[in-house]
Amino acid sequence: MAVGLTEAEKILPVAGVKLAAVTAGIKKSRQPDMVVIAFENTASCAATFTRNAFCAAPVTLAKENLSKTGDKGIRALLINSGNANAGTGSKGMDNARQSCQWLADELQCSPEQILPFSTGVIGEQLPMDAMLSGIKQISQNLSADNWLAAARGIMTTDTLYKAVSKTISIDDRVITISGIAKGSGMICPNMATMLAFITTDASVEHEFLQQCLSAAVEKSFNSITVDGDTSTNDACVLIASGEAGNTVLDNNSAQAAVFVDALHDVCQYLAQAIIRDGEGATKFVTVTVAQAAAEAEARQVAYTIAHSPLVKTALFASDPNWGRILAAVGRAGVQQLDISGVNLFLDDVCIVRNGGVDADYTEDRGQRVMDRSEITITVELGRGDESATVWTSDLSHEYVRINAEYRS
């Protein structure tokens, strides 16, 4: 059961964007498993991808196609779930190219104008008969109102779809940003087993669009972890159709900050939704490290806590075993850490002050916090003014079951 997450009832259409979700037959469950996000005109595209060295064929091909088409060339995103097309060698690349060609034929564009994305089991070739069957269904199913169907079509172990819309005003025009994401396990920065597709009808200069996305991803999708595993297929894509007709946004635009803030909100919502729906999650945990000498140092400590199996199992048990958190801080690799400057909080309950147990702390106060489904762990290092926040989940019996049975 996802922690504090409900499915959106409606996602706002974005001018110039149409979507389709079909059942191609890739998943054994016969659930929707192919999604296309198409653009009426060529659209400006920004993207970030996994840094895993064993990146999947669609990741490699999407990067190639982006480099060929430049800032105004993308016509569609082709997404399949149920098969990652990763670890599949040259045949996997050939299959990805063929899939893009088939969709390009349907949309009457160049295959380089298609960006492919896959998610699912690693090491199996794409079922090409199913891919062709799904692609043949696309053209008659494209609609501006298919956002929720698309959100369902990209799911794997997700229990709920993740989708959000936001509107802002720029140049007295209503600008819409709508996005969907999938992800539940194998979640760790740079990036995680996640796909996110965000579109806007704003007109945005290409370099600025990439800057906006990269900054937003760093504070959202690169600030989450379920299990410390980075996948082979991850991507976050931002497409600007330009149909809103606003003055083109760039670094010098007076209203650029309005767009930046809205995009950050959308990315953070989707990233947190992935953690709230983490495999087997019963807790949504915010880890904030403050008073660090550098942001990188703060992130290092935060992730050491968030990745600790002992911390995560204590969270699942609702056990205020704060010694596990303190031990994680101590082994995070902070040079010359003075423990007499360290404070530790669970929500507003101070457990450790100046390196030792706070005089007012009691087990009952800690227990009341740990019994909650949403918890904030705050560490003050007493070394400077920098801080970082990451979001994580607990580690439950259900996480083990889901991943033990994933391929069955």
pLDDT tens digits, 80-121: 999 999 999 999 999 999 999 999 999 999 999 999 999 888
One domain for residues 323 and 182: no
pLDDT tens digits, 217-241: 999 999 998 776 666 778 899 999 9
One domain for residues 28 and 66: yes
One domain for residues 208 and 297: no
Q: What is the CATH number of the domain that holds 189?
A: 3.60.70.12
Q: Does 4 reside within a domain?
A: no
One domain for residues 44 and 154: yes
One domain for residues 223 and 88: yes
Q: Does 1 reside within a domain?
A: no
One domain for residues 172 and 62: yes
pLDDT tens digits, 371-403: 999 999 999 999 999 999 999 999 888 878 877
Domain final residue pick, 276, 298, 324: 276
Question: DSSP states of 19-48 as a string?
Answer: EEEE--S-STT----EEEEEEEEEEEEEEE
Q: Does 252 reside within a domain?
A: yes
pLDDT tens digits, 253-303: 999 999 999 999 999 999 999 999 988 889 999 999 999 999 999 999 999
Is a pLDDT exceeding 60 seen at residue 193? no
One domain for residues 62 and 191: yes
Mean pLDDT of the chain: 92
pTM (predicted TM-score)? 0.93
193 catalytically annotated: yes
Position 185 confidence tier, pLDDT thresholds 50, 70, 90: low
384: domain range? 284-404
Q: Does 2 reside within a domain?
A: no
Domain final residue pick, 250, 276, 302: 276
Residue among 223, 237, 280, 257 at smallest CA distance from 401: 280
| Predicted pLDDT of residue 230 | 63
Count: domains in the chain: 2
One domain for residues 306 and 245: no
DSSP E strand stretches across 122-225? 162-170, 173-182, 195-200, 224-225
Does residue 288 contact residue 378 with C-beta atoms inside 8 Å? yes
One domain for residues 291 and 259: no
Q: What is the CATH number of the domain that holds 297?
A: 3.10.20.340
Q: Does 7 reside within a domain?
A: no
Q: Residue 39 is encoded by which pair of tokens?
A: 């653009």
Q: Does 355 reside within a domain?
A: yes
One domain for residues 44 and 186: yes
Residue among 167, 158, 140, 142 at smallest CA distance from 77: 142
Domain final residue pick, 276, 299, 320: 276
Question: DSSP states of 137-155 as a string?
Answer: HHTTT-BTT-HHHHHHHT-
pLDDT tens digits, 65-88: 999 886 558 999 999 999 999 999
| Predicted pLDDT of residue 226 | 79
One domain for residues 296 and 164: no
Catalytic residue among 193, 230, 232, 304: 193
| Predicted pLDDT of residue 405 | 74
| Predicted pLDDT of residue 339 | 93
